[in-house]
Amino acid sequence: MGTLKNWRVVFAIFGVLCGSQVACGQQMPRVVVLTPAQTQWIPKIFHETLAGLGYREGVNLRVDVVSADGKLDRLRKLADDAVRTAPNVIVAVNTPGTQAAADATSTIPIVSAAVGDPVLLGFVKSIARPERNITGVANMAGDITSKRIALLKEVAPSVRRVAVFLHPDEPIVAPQMKDIEASAGKLGIEYRTFPMRSTDDLLRSMRQAVEWKADAVLRLAGQGFALGADTGRLATERRLPSMLMSKRDVEAGGLMSYFADHRDLFARIAMQVDRILKSAAPRDLPFELPTRFELIVNTRTAKTLGLEVTSSVLARADEVIE
């Protein structure tokens, strides 16, 4: 009788412990996040969404983050190293991260996070059916860049010359420039591009933009997130209205930003990871497109620049910084 009672205790303890896959002898699922820089993803939203889906890190999921610290030439080696550890899923952040992961493996599932046009960039054959080991969530619509310029001109209607700040190694520059070229006449603008990789490049480009007599600054999507806040601040100091990429850039003194809501994107990325961990195949999961865009306006900066933000723009703004 004592022996039977002891076995019951053992089984009870085993049942509790089996809430952890490790305790039951199963390998804990592991996700590797491959990012060009720590600032280019939103870990808080990603982790919170996974927790809401029932994942507890260290109990039934492990998440390892690998960052290139802004050095894009490191991404391929980091991707190769990650593949050798055989994770269950690789979350590849932005276009360079996705390219590195795609070059490193054709078998491990990849969730592409906040990438540009995945079909145009050659990552998948179709949005609806990727047909390979990659799915994910895109952060760009085809005409987003011309919409950003149009919004800028609503606040600064006299803008004619637009200085376009971009990262020269970023693959998603091409579709954005194509959109600008196609819409420049209709928008009534001329433009000049200013490539930059570093703060020194930014300072030089800002000086050159002023010498060119630019009326405004447009920051393209892509690498250079770390320069976004400085771009807005420096543009305003030179009395140039700016269209930027994020709330952080506008808070630093820029005029406005309009782009996909990355909090929403990273929540949906976590959901894609969940589906794959539950045995869905990336080739069968449609690539998701952005559905929520975020408009941030700094009325204090507008006043500094002598601009009036119309009631129409204010009504559409997701947040107004005063």
> Which domains, ranges and CATH numbers included, belong to the chain?
21-140+262-284 (3.40.50.2300), 144-260+293-321 (3.40.50.2300)
Percent of the chain past pLDDT 70, that is, above it, reads: 90
Confidence check: pLDDT of 248 > 60: yes
Q: What is the pLDDT of residue 5?
A: 47
In one-letter notation, the amino acid at residue 303 is K
Strands (DSSP E) along the chain, which ranges? 30-35, 62-67, 89-93, 110-115, 134-138, 161-166, 190-195, 216-219, 242-244, 256-260, 293-298, 319-321
pLDDT in tens, 60-105: 999 999 999 988 899 999 999 999 999 999 999 988 899 999 999 9
Assign 45 to helix, strand or coil: helix
Local structure of 298: helix, strand or coil: strand
How many Å separate Cα 64 from the centre of its chain? 18
Check whether 207 has a pLDDT greater than 90. Answer: yes
Give the CA-trace dihedral at 239, 240, 243, 249, to 10 degrees: -40
Band of residue 141 on the pLDDT scale cut at 50, 70, 90: low
pLDDT band at 121 (very low <50, low <70, confident <90, very high): confident
pLDDT at res. 116: 83
- Residue 132 has what pLDDT? 94
Q: Please, which pLDDT band fits residue 228 given cuts at 50, 70 and 90?
A: confident
**Concatenated DSSP letters of 107-150:** SS-EEEEEES-TTTTTS-S-SS---SSEEEEE---TTHHHHHHH
| Residue 224 pLDDT greater than 80, yes or no | no
pLDDT exceeds cutoff 90 at 269? yes
Can you name the residues that pair with 35 across neighbouring β-strands? 67
pLDDT in tens, 33-64: 999 988 888 899 999 999 999 999 999 999 99
Strands 242-244 vs 161-166: parallel, antiparallel or unpaired:
unpaired
The band of 26, judged by pLDDT with boundaries at 50, 70 and 90, is low
Residue 277 identity: L
What does the pLDDT read at residue 190?
Answer: 98
CA distance to 15, 145, 278, 315, per residue, from 2 (Å): 20, 75, 41, 74
Quick one: pLDDT at residue 12? Answer: 42
Q: Is the pLDDT of residue 6 over 60?
A: no
